[in-house]
Structure 1
Amino acid sequence: MNKPQLKLIVLDRDGVINQDSDEYVKSLDEWIPIPGSIEAIAALSKAGYSICIATNQSGLARNYFTQDTLEQMHHKLEALVNEQGGEIHSIHFCPHGPDDKCDCRKPLPGMFNSIAKSFGLNDLTGVFAVGDSLRDLQAGAKVNCKPVLVKTGKGMRTLNSDKALPDGTLIFEDLKTFADSILP
């Protein structure tokens, strides 16, 4: 008998769940959900998917905001999803800057490896990795995720760039459209 496929989805945060900014999302007031994203996460959760978030947060290393502010943003996200009857399994973030030589900053797969380990897995074969930037998709592809690009946030910039997307990348308008496509 075949083992059932793990119902897990890894989401980027800025540009997928909430509005993104080239100047960084630096405060609770600047953390604004993209219409439909909270409902999409809740619907996926209620359908049995474990939702994990993997987000680069170099604003911490750059001193644009504090760890406390980041925790407030994540608390708000979790509370909004909970109000809709859903749950977020875990939130993983990279606090490092681009020159810190860590293994967690996307496009490196460190956060994805941590997620896999938390589920007792060696990789995330077949798990959807939803992002709005090439580095989100590349990080997921390194652990065999199925890459999903949303056009929100930096998604259109990513789609229109001359850099190739990972093989098999699925493209959707937004997180809600993606969720609708996989929900019964």
Structure 2
Amino acid sequence: MERVLARYAAHLPLTTRQICYALLSDDGLAKQERTYKRLVELCGMARRSGRIPWNAIRDDTETAAEPVAFTGVVDFQQAQLEAARAYRLDRQAGQPARIELFCETAGMVPQLAAVAEPFGVPCYSGSGYNSLPGKRGAAHRAAEGGHAAVHAVASQMMSSASRSRTNANSGSASARPATAAPPPVCSARR
């Protein structure tokens, strides 16, 4: 786990699921629900003990809705100044097409957004490669904006090594020889 966090230090925080997939690819972990549950327990113990930094792992299960409030007029003014500093025009305004970046899992959105945000490209998770709500949302945004849309899809495929181990663990006769993990796949649709 520490080796994975060190390798992806520039992309922290990672989700426990992302750590699990890296370990599946690296160490030959069995792709089983109990393996994942044990990793969740180990990550929790490592965080609580201080062995790994608390903020190295992102937990997307907590949802909060806090009201916007200020401690006083000065706090409100500071918030307005910060909003004014963050102001920027839509970088895709006036273009014949808008680019949107999609990924399979919500856990990938922060890493992709860190790369795409400077270019004004929004990132979305469809919570599955072929998400119907994700497609519907994209269609509505394109229709409301009156423009064509270019959708780039970033997908992390399971490595051949992981497939081989998974097949071998399940007793499948179709195990392939282990090879290096392929890079994320990116395809564009218009």
- Whether TM exceeds 0.5 here: the answer is no
TM-score (norm 1): 0.29
If asked which structure has higher relative contact order (CA below 8 Å, sep 6+), I would say: 1
Larger radius of gyration: 2
TM-score (norm 2): 0.28
